[in-house]
């Protein structure tokens, strides 16, 4: 299944750094997020967009992950050549990740 | 327990105005905050002020003030805003004139000045955080340096009886923290209260982004009545307790989901959200739906503030030239790709000097690059886009020209060409020892 089926997401920007939250709709899916949406996978998914590193923070109280991606906004929001200089649309790309369903999700 | 209700009347400088009127009219609020100052806006405003000393504040100041002042004055709602941009005193004088013209001469209006720290930054020749270099190395490209001030001067202005407080650069959450500090007498070293107050300010500062804006995704996250989106209200208790809500009957929704998304918006390490007044810690925050469009947000904490203030440095970075043209129908993608190849070669042949170029097809690969988009279906229409960074406006113009000339020299049936060339005022950051910023309050009578 797609990540979109179990999680929602929002992108924020600061300078040349983008952060993307991934929030489980249902707390029982947080373990799937934690196991499968790793910073390595996110970095691979955004190859060609993110030139820096991807760091993941966990917020179990919110069933959420927060990915912080450096060198991700074309040199910075205020100077980028990109159409979407803020990277607002990046969350939609992340929700297209494939997720292996858990035993309760089939 | 004492409680205040703070309305968020704008999430950015161009935001809708009626939701703020709705808050003033029906929100039962004591404070109305307008956050209108983007990262780079203050640098652009500084350029405007250099041309005209009475300008340099938010272009919508007059419209917003005229819309809400009568209601706010009659109900005793205090206004806090960063619409002062590069010239808070001129904004305060203009607001006083507007108040007078509306027959509201008793309003006390305060400007908070002192965020302009250009001289201090030059004296210290501070290093730039985003790239190798210092303030002095920016030379005559340097336009402005504004420190993110904290809540204290705004709270002090409220304590001195201000009905309207107008700042320039200040931390966005601090615009909301100031009324809390003023109303509850919170100590400026009660880090946990300041941390929880920062959670409230952070959630409210983007206005509609917590009431269902920047959220709707049909079939997955549906939000009612977005055309009449209501802006948020924070109900804050003197112990820092917080409920996010909105005006009953307004469009949108306040749910645990909207609050979670906004809590993490523009946050990096949730344990260290650096603010001028506190290092806030969002890691233990919980959200709970306690009624329709009512979400309790708890658990924000804080740690001692740092010794420095973040400063936004505006500078002339480069120039950007851009051109676009559309192709449609069978073979649109192939003609679009051919068009990009032609422009790529033309820019080389004609010797356009650029440090960075983008060649893309809107509708295909412009947002996330070619790799993610590789398996997408062929669209009915595509729009070619070429953008490049140059050292001069003259060079930038040449990039758009090479797209426009595709009309008569490029693939078949290209339409709707468009081009632009502009200078880029960008923003970088430095950290300034906090004692070098000296905020002051100036009252202006209506």
HSE value, Cβ hemisphere, 13 Å, CA-based, for B293: 20
pLDDT of the residue at B378 = 82
| Tens digit of each residue's pLDDT, chain A (106 residues) | 999 999 999 999 999 999 999 999 999 999 999 999 999 999 999 998 999 999 999 999 999 999 999 999 999 889 999 999 999 999 999 999 999 998 877 6
Q: What is the mean pLDDT of each run of 10 residues along chain B (446 residues)?
A: 97 97 98 94 89 95 98 98 97 97 96 96 91 91 96 98 98 98 98 98 98 96 97 98 98 98 98 98 98 98 98 95 95 95 97 96 88 79 96 97 95 95 94 97 85
What distance in Å separates the CA atoms of residue B17 and residue B83, rounded to the nearest whole number?
14
- In a 3-state reduction of DSSP, which class is residue A18? strand
Q: Which residue in the block uniquely carries the two structure tokens 């990262």? A: B39
Residues of A in contact with B426 (CB under 8 A): 76, 78-79
What distance in Å separates the CA atoms of residue B348 and residue A5, rounded to the nearest whole number?
46
CB contact under 8 A, A78 and B40: yes
Quote the minimal CA–CA distance from A19 to chain B in Å. Answer: 6
Q: Are strands B232-237 and B273-274 parallel, antiparallel or unpaired?
A: unpaired
Tell which B residues from 187 to 216 touch A, by Cβ distance under 8 Å.
Answer: 214-215
What distance in Å separates the CA atoms of residue A25 and residue A22, rounded to the nearest whole number?
10
Q: Is A62 on the interface with B (CB under 8 A)?
A: yes
- A11: tokens are 């992108």
CB contact under 8 A, A83 and B366: yes
Q: What is the interface pTM, i.e. ipTM, of the complex? A: 0.96
Of B286, B358, B427, the CB nearest to A81: B358
- B286: tokens are 């919980």
- In a 3-state reduction of DSSP, which class is residue B445? strand
Q: Is A52 on the interface with B (CB under 8 A)?
A: no
Q: Are strands B232-237 and B3-10 parallel, antiparallel or unpaired?
A: antiparallel
Of A8, A46, A88, the CB nearest to B221: A8
pLDDT of the residue at A18 = 97
Tell which B residues from 111 to 130 touch A, by Cβ distance under 8 Å.
Answer: 130
Within 8 A by CB and 6+ apart from A75, the residues are A16, A81, B356
pLDDT of the residue at A66 = 98
Q: Is A76 on the interface with B (CB under 8 A)?
A: yes
CB contact under 8 A, B266 and A82: no
Q: Are strands B78-81 and B294-298 parallel, antiparallel or unpaired?
A: unpaired
Nearest to B444 by CA among B151, B156, B168, B99: B99
Quote the minimal CA–CA distance from A14 to chain B in Å. Answer: 7
Quote the minimal CA–CA distance from B368 to chain A in Å. Answer: 7
What distance in Å separates the CA atoms of residue B446 and residue B389, rounded to the nearest whole number?
47
Answer for the pair B211, B252: CB distance below 8 angstroms, yes or no: yes
Give the DSSP H/E element, type plus range, for residue B337: helix B332-349
Of B221, B263, B426, the CB nearest to A79: B426
**Alpha-carbon distances of B159 from A10, B1, B5, B42, B185, rounded to whole Å:** 37, 20, 17, 27, 10
Q: Is A94 on the interface with B (CB under 8 A)?
A: no
pLDDT of the residue at B29 = 98
pLDDT of the residue at A29 = 97
pLDDT of the residue at B372 = 75
HSE value, Cβ hemisphere, 13 Å, CA-based, for A32: 24
Residues of B in contact with A21 (CB under 8 A): 260-261, 264-265
CB contact under 8 A, B267 and A66: yes
pLDDT of the residue at B56 = 96
CB contact under 8 A, A49 and B368: yes
């Amino acid at each position: 299944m797609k990540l979109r089926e179990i999680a929602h997401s929002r992108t924020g920007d600061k300078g040349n750094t983008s952060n993307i939250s991934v929030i489980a709709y249902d707390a029982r899916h947080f373990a799937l997020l934690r196991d499968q949406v790793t910073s390595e996978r996110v970095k691979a998914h955004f190859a060609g967009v993110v030139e820096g590193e991807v760091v993941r923070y966990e917020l179990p109280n919110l069933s959420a992950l927060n990915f912080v991606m450096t060198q991700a906004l074309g040199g910075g929001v205020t100077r980028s050549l990109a159409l979407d200089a803020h990277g607002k649309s990046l969350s939609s790309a992340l929700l297209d990740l494939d997720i292996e369903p858990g035993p309760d999700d089939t | 327990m004492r409680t205040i209700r703070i309305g968020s009347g704008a999430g950015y400088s161009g935001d809708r105005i009626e939701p703020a009127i709705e808050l003033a009219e029906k929100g039962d609020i004591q404070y109305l905050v307008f956050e209108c100052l983007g990262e780079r806006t203050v640098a652009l405003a500084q350029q405007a002020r250099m041309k005209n000393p009475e300008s340099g504040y938010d272009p919508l100041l007059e419209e917003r003030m005229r819309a809400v002042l009568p209601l706010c004055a009659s109900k005793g709602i205090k206004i806090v805003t960063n619409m002062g941009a590069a010239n808070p005193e001129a904004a305060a004088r203009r607001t006083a004139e507007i108040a007078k013209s509306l027959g509201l001469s008793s309003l006390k209006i305060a400007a908070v000045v002192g965020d302009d720290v250009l001289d201090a930054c030059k004296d210290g020749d501070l290093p730039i955080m985003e790239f190798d270099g210092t303030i002095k190395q920016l030379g005559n490209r340097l336009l402005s340096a504004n420190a993110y001030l904290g809540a204290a001067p705004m709270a002090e202005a409220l304590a001195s009886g201000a009905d309207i407080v107008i700042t320039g650069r200040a931390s966005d959450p601090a615009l909301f923290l100031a009324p809390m500090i003023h109303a509850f007498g919170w100590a400026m070293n009660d880090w946990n209260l300041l941390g929880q107050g920062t959670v409230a300010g952070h959630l409210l500062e983007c206005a509609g982004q917590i009431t269902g804006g920047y959220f709707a995704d049909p079939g997955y996250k549906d939000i009612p009545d977005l055309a009449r989106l209501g802006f948020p209200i924070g109900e804050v208790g003197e112990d820092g307790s917080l409920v996010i809500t909105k005006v009953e009957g307004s469009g949108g929704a306040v749910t645990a989901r909207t609050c979670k998304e906004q809590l993490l918006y523009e946050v990096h390490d949730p344990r260290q959200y650096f603010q001028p007044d506190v290092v806030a810690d969002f890691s233990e925050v919980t959200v709970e739906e306690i009624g329709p469009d009512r979400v309790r947000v708890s658990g924000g904490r804080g740690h001692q503030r740092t010794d420095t203030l973040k400063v936004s440095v505006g500078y002339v970075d480069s120039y950007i030239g851009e051109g676009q043209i559309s192709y449609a129908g069978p073979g649109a993608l192939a003609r679009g790709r051919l068009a990009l190849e032609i422009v790529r070669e033309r820019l080389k042949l004609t010797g356009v000097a650029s440090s960075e170029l983008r060649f893309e097809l809107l509708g295909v690969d412009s947002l996330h690059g070619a790799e993610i988009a590789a398996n997408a279906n062929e669209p009915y229409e595509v729009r070619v886009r070429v953008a490049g960074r140059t050292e001069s406006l003259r060079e930038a113009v040449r990039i758009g020209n090479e797209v426009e000339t595709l009309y008569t020299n490029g693939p078949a049936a290209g339409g709707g060409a468009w081009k632009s060339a502009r200078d880029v005022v960008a923003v970088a950051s430095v950290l300034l020892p906090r004692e070098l910023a000296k905020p002051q309050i100036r009252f202006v009578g209506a």
